[in-house]
Amino acid sequence: MAEHLASIFGTEKDRVNCPFYFKIGACRHGDRCSRLHNRPTISPTLLLQNMYQNPILNAPLGADGLPLPVDPKKVQEFFEDFYEDIFEELAKAGEIEYLNVCDNLADHMVGNCYVKFRDEEAAARALQLFQARFYAGKPIVAEFSPVTDFREATCRQYEEGTCGRGGYCNFMHVRPVSKQLRKQLFGRYRDGTGGSTKFHDK
């Protein structure tokens, strides 16, 4: 029996534990979910909830009540500035293996940022670092996440440009970062000095 329960843990067959929370660290039902969200007390991965403020979602409305179009190039520039900003701050806690920012639109995933450190100790330091902190005027909501395998959490169809669910897909639509910026950031780490002016304490 124990072996069977272990084999279905976190899958659709598991009637006790929520498979979406286990795979993605977020669930559209939130605390109203009929299955358990086993929140880890330690993990190499942190979730920074709703931290990325997508300019497309925050675009001003036109006379017709619809959002005005936003230049995709400016959106990408805004995103990469944000990505570099939080990478540099997180890197003070330890070596980063992954930093994924969701491009999803559903409330439980919009703007979510997932950072996986090389070890759990670095993630714990980062969680402490972000307590009572703000970014661009908004409080940072950080927690340990059960997600450690992003292959299971990421929408492969989105990466291929074929996801029919759009921004409301229940798997991560990870916004791509330019190869140049990725090489620049993951190729070296800060020594703990400096930092972004958009971060501030309470």
- Do the domain assignments include residue 170? yes
C-alpha R_g of the chain: 18
- Do the domain assignments include residue 53? yes
Question: Does the pLDDT value for residue 111 go beyond 90?
Answer: yes
Token digits for 80?
A: 């990469």
Confidence at residue 202, expressed as pLDDT on a 0 to 100 scale: 58
- Do the domain assignments include residue 162? yes
Question: Tell me: the pLDDT tens digits for 128-163?
Answer: 999 989 998 899 999 999 999 898 899 999 988 899
Find the angle CA(56)-CA(60)-CA(64) to the nearest 5 degrees.
110
Confidence at residue 90, expressed as pLDDT on a 0 to 100 scale: 95
Q: Please count the CA atoms within 13 angstroms of the CA of 72 that sit on its side-chain side.
A: 2
- Do the domain assignments include residue 18? no
- Do the domain assignments include residue 5? no
* Mean pLDDT over the full length of the chain: 84
Confidence at 13, pLDDT banded by 50, 70, 90: low
- Do the domain assignments include residue 195? no
- Do the domain assignments include residue 34? no
- The domain that holds 161 is classified in CATH as 3.30.70.330
How many domains, in total, are found in the chain? 1
Other beta carbons less than 10 A from residue 179's beta carbon: 8
- The domain in which residue 107 lies consists of 39-187
Confidence at residue 54, expressed as pLDDT on a 0 to 100 scale: 87
- Do the domain assignments include residue 132? yes
Q: Contact, 20 vs 37, CB < 8 A?
A: no
